[in-house]
Amino acid sequence: MVASAVATELQSNKTDHTPFMYRDHDITPDHDTLYYTVETPAGNLKKKLQDHGRPLSPQDRAADDSARGTLMSNPDAMRKLRQNNTHDDQQAEQMLKLLPVAYLWSIASEHGDLTTLDFKPDPAFNPPSMEARVLSAMSGQIVISRPQNRIATIRGSLVDDVKFGYGIFGRLRQGGSFQVERREVAPHHWQITETHVHISGHALFFKSIGDQEDEVRSDFHISPATTLQQANDILNKVN
């Protein structure tokens, strides 16, 4: 069941490149920001709407508009953003492929179209990367929406400390957790609507592993923009 759902997700990632626009509320220890994002085949643009629940001042609004204009006129910067997005997608695919093989699975419950499965680390699994090592040290649940065979929820927590180089190069603490929610935001189009990552610790040379972030995306609509200029025109009308 898990392998089949993963195969569906991987195939969708390859074939469904529908651009969307949506509100994106992102909270980290460094910021609490509400954005509006418009995706296009040429790249994505976003406009900052609020900072810590407050509308931007005229000066901050002007600075954000200027930064967006500078980004649009800088092909190298846009290329780097697209490369970063591609890298993130590749990492997500690698993690998805590990799900059927890194864990021991059991069915927890079935309610209507939803099947909830429990997972725990498989002692026989040999993680091929640092990220996989963290992933394989987690236990949790996955919720599969059976009609379309899509992953609706995945949540997990570290069952033990994860040490790097016997702890010399870092340690992630037991109890760190993550949760990802996905929903059908348009017919047969699924998007991540919530991401919650709370992993404490540190790892030298692997700063991206530890994280504290809550992100909620809402108000999805298929984006009509095919160029960055069209995306910017849409953002200029968003309040």
The structure tokens 């954005």 sit at: 35
Terminal-to-terminal C-alpha distance of the chain: 43
Q: pLDDT of the chain along its 239 residues, tens only? A: 999 999 999 999 999 999 999 999 999 998 999 999 999 998 999 999 999 999 999 999 999 999 999 999 888 888 888 887 777 788 788 889 999 999 999 999 999 999 999 999 999 999 888 778 888 888 999 999 999 999 999 999 988 877 766 565 566 778 889 899 999 999 999 999 999 988 877 654 444 555 789 999 999 999 999 999 999 999 999 98
Helices and strands counted in the chain (H then E) = 5, 14
| Nearest-angstrom CA–CA distance, 85 and 196 | 19
Give pTM, 2 decimals: 0.88
Contact 143, 110 (CB under 8 A): no
| Nearest-angstrom CA–CA distance, 83 and 66 | 23
| Nearest-angstrom CA–CA distance, 88 and 182 | 17
Contact 150, 144 (CB under 8 A): yes
CA 154 to chain centre: 11
What is the pLDDT, as a whole number, of residue 166?
55
Q: How many CB atoms lie within 10 A of CB 105?
A: 16
Burial bucket for residue 194 (CB in 10 Å: 0-12, 13-18, 19+):
middle
| Nearest-angstrom CA–CA distance, 215 and 128 | 28
Read out DSSP for 166-196? Answer: TTTTEEE-TT-EEEEEEEEEETTEEEEEEEE
What is the pLDDT, as a whole number, of residue 132?
83
CA 214 to chain centre: 10
Q: How many CB atoms lie within 10 A of CB 22?
A: 19
Burial bucket for residue 17 (CB in 10 Å: 0-12, 13-18, 19+):
exposed
Report DSSP state, residue 149: T
What is the pLDDT, as a whole number, of residue 202?
62
